[in-house]
């Protein structure tokens, strides 16, 4: 069974709703399970041990939330152990700017993670379309995790 970690921050619940939809998408794929962890309860070992990861954040001042950035700062010490990991990102904002998403995707690239699909930018209350896009993102991560594990043997 592969594990897809969904690492997110949310203060008023919108990003959390997107994170739960990502978990639903992971659950659509046989052989994969989702693990939802709010980033302030996560350790860098959670990132190292998962088979794929989704990062979710509200847009704060055109960037990811500080707690997620802090997590990335701590995780830099284990970058060699997360290189090649399948990853994707999703964000929630008051507006529709993709700046927070791009800030996360830049960090994914710095860690040499492999972006498996386009990220999701949700504006305001998550729409059914946003939730479905997050379910598909979860599915893509689960399939990439299964493919990665089987190619490693
Ligand atoms: C400190 C702060 C800064 C924010 N900055 C932005 C911003 O630059 N652009 C934007 O679209 N929304 C901004 N917002 C709005 C949030 O991104 C938005 O309400 C989001 O849906 C909240 O997600 P959550 O419910 O998961 O906490 C900001 C909110 C806060 C509290």
- What is the residue-wise DSSP string for 99-128? HHHHHHHHHHHHTT-EE-S--EEEESSPPH
Banded model confidence at residue 151, pLDDT cuts 50, 70, 90: confident
- CATH class for the region spanning 2-152: alpha beta
Residues within 6 Å of ligand 1 by CB:
10-16, 58-62, 92-95, 97
Tens of pLDDT, residues 50-76: 999 999 999 999 999 999 999 999 999
What is the tens place of the pLDDT at every residue in 28-55?
999 999 999 999 999 999 999 999 999 9
Q: Alpha-carbon distance 110 to 100, whole Å?
A: 16
> Angle at which helices 14-27 and 128-152 pack, to 10 degrees?
50
- Per-domain residue ranges for the chain? 2-152
Distance CA 106, CA 98 (A): 12
pTM above threshold 0.95: yes
Instruction: Please tell me the distance from the alpha carbon of residue 16 to that of residue 24, in angstroms, as a whole number.
Output: 12
β-strand partners of 114:
86
Q: What ligand 1 atom has the least distance to the C-alpha of 9?
A: 26
Give the pLDDT score at 153. Answer: 56
């Amino acid at each position: 069974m592969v594990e897809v970690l969904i690492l997110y921050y949310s203060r008023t619940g919108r990003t959390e709703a997107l994170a739960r939809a990502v978990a639903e998408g992971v659950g659509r794929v046989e052989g994969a399970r989702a693990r939802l962890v709010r980033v302030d309860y996560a350790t860098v070992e959670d990132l190292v041990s998962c088979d794929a990861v989704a990062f979710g954040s509200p847009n704060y001042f055109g960037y990811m939330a500080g707690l997620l950035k802090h997590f990335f700062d701590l995780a830099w010490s284990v970058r060699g152990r997360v290189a090649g990991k399948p990853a994707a990102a999703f964000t929630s904002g008051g507006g529709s700017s993709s700046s927070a998403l791009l800030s996360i995707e830049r960090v994914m690239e710095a860690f040499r993670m492999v972006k498996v699909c386009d990220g999701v930018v949700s504006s305001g209350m998550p729409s059914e379309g946003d939730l479905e896009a997050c379910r598909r993102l979860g599915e893509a991560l689960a399939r990439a995790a299964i493919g990665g594990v089987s190619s490693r043997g």
